[in-house]
């Protein structure tokens, strides 16, 4: 009886690994893990060297081990999903990081490169960040998507369980493709495109049902809105993100807004960030209606001038809708809140290390280093102006929102005009008014209502 039981169990286990259709053989073979040329190939002491690239056994062990010195199953028992290492341990420890790092990787060759979005799409190929473990290892003043918080958030939603890997919130490991395909040391081009993400709201344990997002018609930024304008690539005024082509309407860009707002939306208003010590700001990228609508960087139109830089100028300048990845890295950044180091053809002129919450006016305006990549600061207005100073747009642009008088009422101290020679009210000589914290007025869902009688009560982001 015991022998027959053992034979039965072995037969069942064998059937699991022989029956491959639920894993979606075609989809898997087209994936970054399953590709026969550059797919996964584990290298470890005692691990069979003749296993071909893309073989399931590089990640999944049919038994407790394969007589090697590779990481042993935790506690001497099979790990979740028969993986060769614990599925998820912490922000910087888990099965994905056993390969996705540039040194001491179990991937053949000893290192696996995965570049930043600024490198791959932005074309800034000098970005030193080159692997996923590094991207998820940023601590203050940098930032990384918090995997523990993601795991907490997805558990119980869309078929995810407490055993799910938080990386799988955005990536189907049996379908995700490299972008660019199999070429981690170059920026992506029209001929090397891949599609790495799958929507969490479409998650399914059926690999064929949980497809990629962005690869099909109806899943591009040009489908999300007719008002998308691609930023320039690094150092260029003729080619655009994400692939260095002349296309600039988002027809070649994944609809990241629909993708990201599966989680970051107004329905889920209590996404807690242990990193920030608070709930994340709810993001309303879809509601129109001017001052009563959502964010104006989303589908809500601007209700005045926006003093914008190329390529966002022109008749449509007030109608543009940004993609989340125009400003944010998906995994991690040396800046706070995942802000990219390269945006719209150039590097930020300073680091963004602090986001102070209203009403904490500490005069910090580092976020302006991001804003000036697309908006006109005083230096962009006149060569005598100061980089990341914002007198012009607030006090003397054609549709300036605030009269330049009684400066201390808002700034606390200082005053006078530095670049404004007319309009904007009174005020004498150059002054150097104490800066107002940018985050007083500019963040997801913001207005300037704090300014009392001086407020425009407009949406200010």
* 3, pLDDT greater than 60: no
Residue 407 pLDDT > 60, yes or no?
A: yes
291-338: pLDDT as tens digits: 989 999 999 998 887 889 999 987 677 789 999 999 999 999 999 999
Look at residue 422 and tell me whether its pLDDT is greater than 70: no
Instruction: Assess contact for 334 and 118: CB atoms under 8 A.
Output: no
Query: Do 313 and 246 touch, CB atoms closer than 8 A?
Result: no
Contact between 457 and 450 under an 8 Å Cβ cutoff? The reply is no
pLDDT in tens, 75-121: 566 667 888 889 999 999 999 999 999 999 999 899 999 999 999 99
**Partners of 164 in the β-ladder:** none
Q: Any idea which of 6-20, 97-111, 443-457 has the lowest mean pLDDT?
A: 6-20
Q: Write down the mean pLDDT value for the chain.
A: 88
- Spatial distance between the Cα atoms of 24 and 174, rounded to a whole number of angstroms: 8
Task: State both tokens at 456.
Answer: 């425009």
Q: What is the mean pLDDT of residues 356-370?
A: 81
Confidence at residue 72, expressed as pLDDT on a 0 to 100 scale: 59
Residues shown for the chain: 461
The verdict on pTM exceeding 0.95 is: no
Residues 117/325, Cβ–Cβ less than 8 Å: yes
Buried b (16+ CB within 10 A) or exposed e, 184-216: beebbeeebbbbbbbbbebbeeebbebbbbbbe
Q: What is the Cα–Cα distance from 339 to 284, expressed in whole angstroms? A: 19
User: How far apart are the C-alpha atoms of 333 and 116, rounded to whole Å?
Assistant: 9
Degrees (nearest 5) of the Cα angle 394, 433, 426? 65
Q: What is the pLDDT of residues 51-70, one digit of tens each?
A: 999 999 999 987 655 555 55
Which of 127-131, 246-250, 280-284 is least confident? 280-284
Query: What residue segments make up the domains of the chain, in order of their start?
Result: 23-111
Q: Evaluate the CA torsion angle 408, 413, 414, 418 in order and state its sign.
A: negative
Least confident of 48-62, 277-291, 305-319, 415-429: 415-429
């Amino acid at each position: 009886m015991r022998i027959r039981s053992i034979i039965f169990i072995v037969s069942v286990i064998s059937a699991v690994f022989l029956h491959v259709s639920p894993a979606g053989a075609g989809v898997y073979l087209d994936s970054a893990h399953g590709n026969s040329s550059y797919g996964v190939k584990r290298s470890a002491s005692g691990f069979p060297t003749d296993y071909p690239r893309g073989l399931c056994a590089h990640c999944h062990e049919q038994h407790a081990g394969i007589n090697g010195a590779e990481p042993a199953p935790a506690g001497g028992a099979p790990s979740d999903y028969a993986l060769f290492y614990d599925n998820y341990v912490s922000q910087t420890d888990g099965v994905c990081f056993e390969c996705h790092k540039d040194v001491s990787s179990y991937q053949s060759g000893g290192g696996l490169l995965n570049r930043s979005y600024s490198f791959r799409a932005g074309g800034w190929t000098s970005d030193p960040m080159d692997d996923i473990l590094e991207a998820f290892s940023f601590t203050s003043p940098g930032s990384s998507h918090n995997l523990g918080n993601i795991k907490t958030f997805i558990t119980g939603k869309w078929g995810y369980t407490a055993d799910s890997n938080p990386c799988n919130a955005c990536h189907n490991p049996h379908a995700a493709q490299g972008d660019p395909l199999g070429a981690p040391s170059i920026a992506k081009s029209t001929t090397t495109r891949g599609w790495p993400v799958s929507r969490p709201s479409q998650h399914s344990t059926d690999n064929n049902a949980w497809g990629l997002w962005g690869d099909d018609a109806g899943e591009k930024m040009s489908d999300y809105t007719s008002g998308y304008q691609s930023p320039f690539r690094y150092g260029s005024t003729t080619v655009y993100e994400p692939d260095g082509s002349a296309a600039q309407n988002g027809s070649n860009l994944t609809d990241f807004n629909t993708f990201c707002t599966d989680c970051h939306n107004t329905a889920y208003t209590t996404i807690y960030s242990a990193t920030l010590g608070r709930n994340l700001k709810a993001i309303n990228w879809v509601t129109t209606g001017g001052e009563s609508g959502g964010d104006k960087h989303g589908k809500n139109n601007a209700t005045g001038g926006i003093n914008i830089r190329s390529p966002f100028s022109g008749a449509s300048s007030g109608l543009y809708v940004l993609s989340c990845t125009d400003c944010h890295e998906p995994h991690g950044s040396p800046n706070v809140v995942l802000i990219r180091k390269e945006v719209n053809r150039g590097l930020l002129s300073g680091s963004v290390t602090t986001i102070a919450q209203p009403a904490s006016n500490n005069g910090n305006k580092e976020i302006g280093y991001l804003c000036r990549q697309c908006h006109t600061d005083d230096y962009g207005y006149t060569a005598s102006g100061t980089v990341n100073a914002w007198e012009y747009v607030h006090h003397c642009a054609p549709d300036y929102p605030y009269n330049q008088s009684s400066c201390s009422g808002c700034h606390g101290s200082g005053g006078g005009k530095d670049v404004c020679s007319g309009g904007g009210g009174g005020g004498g000589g150059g002054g150097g008014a104490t800066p107002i914290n940018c985050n007083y007025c500019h963040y997801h869902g913001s207005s300037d209502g704090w300014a009392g009688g001086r407020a425009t009560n407009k949406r200010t982001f």
